[in-house]
Structure 1
């Protein structure tokens, strides 16, 4: 975990950064297609109780697009979040986006930025590297347990996609 302070419009803000890595036996191209490029369709299909719908309100999925994710009722305290695509490089398996609105910001955050890179591993699988940057409102304190719970939910979605790909080996070739 890395803490950084910076000034925005005369207000001191704190950015808290977390780096995580998850190994997978799924190849980088296949994992990127499922986890990044088609997650809007795949996740509601395989985890309908967790994610009810994903709807683009601006753009078509490319850089600058904005989508609203509506979470399933009863499975999460979160109702929705809006996120903006900040970067997408299909050749290098990188994806960046920012949560810009919704319950995930917990009234303590301006935004959360995620940088995902999926790299091939020597065994034919891959490593998913993620940097999460939490931008606080002013000097707001972030509840570490809430962040951990969110990271656990994201890992569960990742593992569900991985399990789907194992069960459907011809998908996303």
Structure 2
């Protein structure tokens, strides 16, 4: 098994509490509403929504994947930290055992936010991730973050 770690940063003009609420706490309702072609639906299938809960994400018709399940590991509303582990689904295929993700949203000096994301890919056997596989995943995640930011900018009273 190999472990590959990738770090991504993104910035937003929106303050951390608002970004965290939309991007993490209300994601199950908001994301299918603003990007239905990417995410058809999400929901808790086990637990109460806190750590240990299992979420299922059903991808939209525009996606190459059908679904994935992830376990919530940390949900720290005060420090704007969300960690989860992708544990099942065609999005991770048969070469990856799991993917651990941590998202931290920090205040930027300009009053906006800095989203810091760390992903650890645990591969099966001696499989090595290719840079283009990681790049594609990063671009999708960043696109989702920017779609939420655009929604918040267009709807300033939404949160």
Computed over aligned residues only, the root mean square deviation of the Cα atoms, in angstroms, reads 0.9
**1:18-29 map, 5 Å:** 18-29=6-17
* More displaced 10-residue stretch of structure 1: 31-40 or 145-154: 145-154
Distance 2:34 2:49 in 1: 20
Q: 1:29 to 1:39 in 2, by over 3 A?
A: same
Which residue, out of 151, 161, 164, partners 2:138? 151
| Structure 2 counterpart SS, 1:132 | strand
Which residue, out of 145, 149, 158, partners 1:162? 149
2:24 counterpart of 1:36? yes
Q: Give unmatched runs, 5+ long, in structure 2.
A: none
Distance 2:132 2:90 in 1: 15
- Displacement of 1:145: 1.5
Which residue, out of 85, 88, 103, partners 1:98? 85
2:106 counterpart of 1:135? no
Which residue, out of 56, 63, 71, partners 2:44? 56
Q: Deviation above 6 Å: which 4+ runs of structure 1?
A: none
| Structure 1 counterpart SS, 2:147 | helix
Instruction: Describe the superposition over 1:16-46 as per-residue Cα deviations: whole angstroms up to 9, x where unpaired.
Output: 0001110110000100000011111100010
Larger Rg: 1
- Displacement of 1:141: 2.1
Q: Give unmatched runs, 5+ long, in structure 1.
A: 1-12
Which residue, out of 94, 98, 106, partners 1:111? 98
The number of residue pairs the alignment matches comes to 159
- Displacement of 1:143: 3.0
Higher relative contact order (CA 8 A, sep 6+): 2
TM-score, scaled relative to structure 2: 0.97
Q: Is the 8 A contact 2:106 2:114 kept in 1?
A: yes
TM-score, scaled relative to structure 1: 0.89
